[in-house]
Structure 1
Amino acid sequence: MSSESERTATSDGVQIHQSRRLPDFLQSVNLKYVKLGYHYLVSYLLTLCLVPLMAVILIQASQLNPDDIHLLWLHLQYNLVSVVIFFVVLVFGSTVYIMTRPRSIYLVDYSCYRPPSHLQVKSHQFMVHSKLTGDFDDSSLEFQRRILQRSGLGEETYVPEAMHYLPPRPSMSAAREEAEQVMFGALDNLFANTNVKPKDIGILVVNCSLFNPTPSLSAMILNKYKLRGNIRSFNLGGMGCSAGVIAIDLAKDLLQVHRNTYAVVVSTENITQNWYFGNKKSMLIPNCLFRVGGSAVLLSNKSSDRRRAKYKLVHVVRTHRGADDKAFRCVYQEQDDAGKTGVSLSKDLMAIAGGALKANITTLGPLVLPISEQLLFFSTLVTKKLLNAKVKPYIPDFKLAFDHFCIHAGGRAVIDELEKNLQLLPTHVEASRMTLHRFGNTSSSSIWYELAYTEAKGRMRKRNRVWQIAFGSGFKCNSAVWEALRNVKPSPNSPWEDCIDKYPVQIVA
């Protein structure tokens, strides 16, 4: 009897708890629709004002008699010189505007490298291999095991050929081989999908942070594809995981100067010579996260390419926090006490990344946010500054500006932090989480694997806007905004072609 009473009480307790939560839920739903109504009202305020104005003009015009119309025609005849001058100025101004405005930059297509299956590494293989190398003590092995468990990486990520040997064989020749496989693999697929001849490429930008041999990686590509001698080629090094957006920005500026040409941007990272074989905890994390990957992007400033291009570049916003010492050293390549080289990640990394993101969206916000969000942000700022009120800073709703988010798959914590700070939904970070799970942290190319995921899922519709956000050493936060020119389908040999049906997967906490 007592147990029955307890169950009833417990049941009643649950009902009471639910009844208390229901009004809160309804209130949040009401607030959501109130905000949405406010957004639409402000966004279409000009249109709403013009409708009655146009109605008044049409009514007045309909009341004109033939004599009034004849009188108006006589006025135009007597002021013929003024009319001619007006149209000359109009034509001249339009011509100057068309000739001097920035040229549109189109993303014709891109390709992401998918390594061969024999380079895949499972978590238990990673740990067994790490133990057999004899370079790590028990504490370091346990640390790596915990990192792998919480990393969000799946069982199909790739490490380079040299890391599959016992002992590992990191060498210059092996690093060159890794670079060639990744870059040439992505470029071969890109040229095949676009039918663009290598000789037609006028600009080449390659970015790889940690591997910068002589001749450069860009020279390796020139030699492989026999690109023309007057090509503008650039090789960016040491700029971290955000260098892909920097390379896009550089290519964009060059395409404004050199007309009617193509630009290719190749983004990759090299692991072979940058695996850490020491026992410093902060330098072991990259071993657990970074994996093989790369991308090749074809950009064009030809108006004729608009018909076949996937996207148009809308904005690039770059933020650099290198003047701050903590930000400068939070991702730092150095030697440990035993003289072994690796990349050290600071405990302050997430806080510094948050500050860099805040600075970046402060610049990006006015460019992309609807006026309704800008007014809310401005009013909150004025209230806080003038009235010294304890008002929480207003976080703009970037879901009103973008349809898709490609957050650099640097690690699970990075994605979690941006999901929380930008108030995103799980579907908005799905591409980033699944890219981290399937391919790991592929450095500057990860945002392209994420875009490919969105396409493979059939979610990219015409006029959708995409926000690519990347973080990198220095410390930098860079953003690129693209607009879809059509309903975008995945290109042949997409990196998700053989596995998209099984995604999204449940990631264990």
Structure 2
Amino acid sequence: LLHVPPLQNLAAAREETEQVIYSTLENLFECTNVNPRDIGILVVNCSVFNPTPSLSAMVVNKFKLRSNIKSFNLGGMGCSAGIIAIDLAKDLLHVHKNTYALVISTENVTKNVYSGDNKSMMVTNCLFRLGGAAILLSNNVRDRKRSKYRLAYTVRTHTGADDKCFQCVQQEDDENGVTGVCLTKDVTFVAGKTVKANIRALAPLILPLSEKLLFFVSAIGAKVLKEKIKLYVPDFKLAIDHFCIHAGGRGVIDVLEKNLGLFPQDVEASRSTLHRFGNTSSSSVWYELAYIEAKG
């Protein structure tokens, strides 16, 4: 924070977002040697800062993107919005051929510094930090050789129908009318529950046949014999080389490490990202991927 008390006006929030997004995109275009006017799809996500004009319109204006671009601005979707944006971009690339999709994930701290005394809302001041990432996707065959990765699967699991899940992270006013983001004690439980549901959907797509059979047998046994047989937890390390678990907080990482049967080295990228950058919300997984790439 550069000001005490902190500036929380719209101009300061917009300046923060511009600094993050513009510098990130300038670096991306320089590294990829892609002309901004070749971008056909744009998806920008920021959970708690959604001004008018939108952040996606801000990017179009700054980099003079073409007039027929498919532009989307995702708001209020929390820390998972970065992967949701990738999923949206993937679906759009199935429809629009030979083009680029640009995904920008960021979060704004300026407008969400909590100045009250509610402990559940003060936690966000300690955890969250500004950050951003830009990801360029292509469905053009010519880009196959120079692409870093191939997007194989995206699996989305929505648990918002459950009240506990819906209310675990909520922007609201405290008893004195001060606005902030409230994190309930259910956050770690909800994170573990949601990841389990997501893994159940993802597992059939990536696990080897041997692990699928073991899980199937244990599931049948557990159903027949009730609690006498413990449900088998598949060894996901047989299908996944690296794990980028959202750096939401130490408690969240601990729960997921335990539930997935991972070792400390499997969550090293998450813990290191949290320690160095804090919780950068939807962009955190890309910081973790950069850590893994740098480590080799």
Q: What CA distance in whole angstroms lies between the structure 1 residues aligned with 2:5 and 2:185?
A: 31
Alignment of 1:382-461 (within 5 A): 382-388=220-226, 390-458=228-296
Corresponding position of 2:10: 172
Q: What CA distance in whole angstroms lies between the structure 2 residues aligned with 1:450 and 1:278?
A: 32
| 2:52 equivalent among 208, 214, 230 | 214
Q: Which amino acid aligns with 2:58?
A: M
TM-score by length of 2: 0.98
Question: Which stretches in structure 2 are left out of the alignment for 5+ residues?
Answer: none
On the 8 A contact 1:267/1:444 being kept in 2, the answer is yes
Say if 1:389 and 1:273 are closer, same or farther in 2 by CA, change over 3 A: closer
Q: What CA distance in whole angstroms lies between the structure 2 residues aligned with 1:349 and 1:453?
A: 25
Aligned-residue Cα RMSD (Å) equals 0.8
Percent identity among equivalent residues?
Answer: 68
TM-superposed deviation, 1:171: 0.8
Corresponding position of 2:119: 281
Q: Which amino acid aligns with 1:327?
A: C
On the 8 A contact 2:41/2:100 being kept in 1, the answer is yes
Is 1:353 the counterpart of 2:170? The answer is no
TM-superposed deviation, 1:357: 1.1
On the 8 A contact 2:247/2:273 being kept in 1, the answer is yes
Corresponding position of 1:308: 146
On the 8 A contact 1:383/1:389 being kept in 2, the answer is no
Q: Which amino acid aligns with 2:219?
A: L
Alignment of 1:482-493 (within 5 A): none
Q: What CA distance in whole angstroms lies between the structure 2 residues aligned with 1:369 and 1:224?
A: 44
TM-superposed deviation, 1:389: 5.4
Is 1:236 the counterpart of 2:82? The answer is no
Question: Which stretches in structure 1 are left out of the alignment for 5+ residues?
Answer: 1-162, 459-509
**Cα shift readout 1:37-56 (whole Å, capped 9, x = no counterpart):** xxxxxxxxxxxxxxxxxxxx
Q: Which amino acid aligns with 2:53?
A: P
Q: What CA distance in whole angstroms lies between the structure 2 residues aligned with 1:391 and 1:309?
A: 45
TM-superposed deviation, 1:360: 0.7
Corresponding position of 1:365: 203
Q: Which secondary structure state, in structure 2, belongs to the residue aligned with residue 229 of structure 1?
A: coil
Say if 1:287 and 1:389 are closer, same or farther in 2 by CA, change over 3 A: closer
TM-superposed deviation, 1:400: 0.6
Q: Which amino acid aligns with 2:234?
A: P
Corresponding position of 1:245: 83
On the 8 A contact 2:187/2:252 being kept in 1, the answer is no
| 2:22 equivalent among 180, 184, 193 | 184
TM-superposed deviation, 1:433: 0.8
Number of residue pairs matched by the alignment: 296
Larger radius of gyration: 1
Q: What CA distance in whole angstroms lies between the structure 1 residues aligned with 2:96 and 2:21?
A: 25
Q: Which amino acid aligns with 1:345?
A: L
TM-superposed deviation, 1:387: 3.4
Q: What CA distance in whole angstroms lies between the structure 2 residues aligned with 1:400 and 1:176?
A: 44
TM-score by length of 1: 0.58
Is 1:343 the counterpart of 2:187? The answer is no
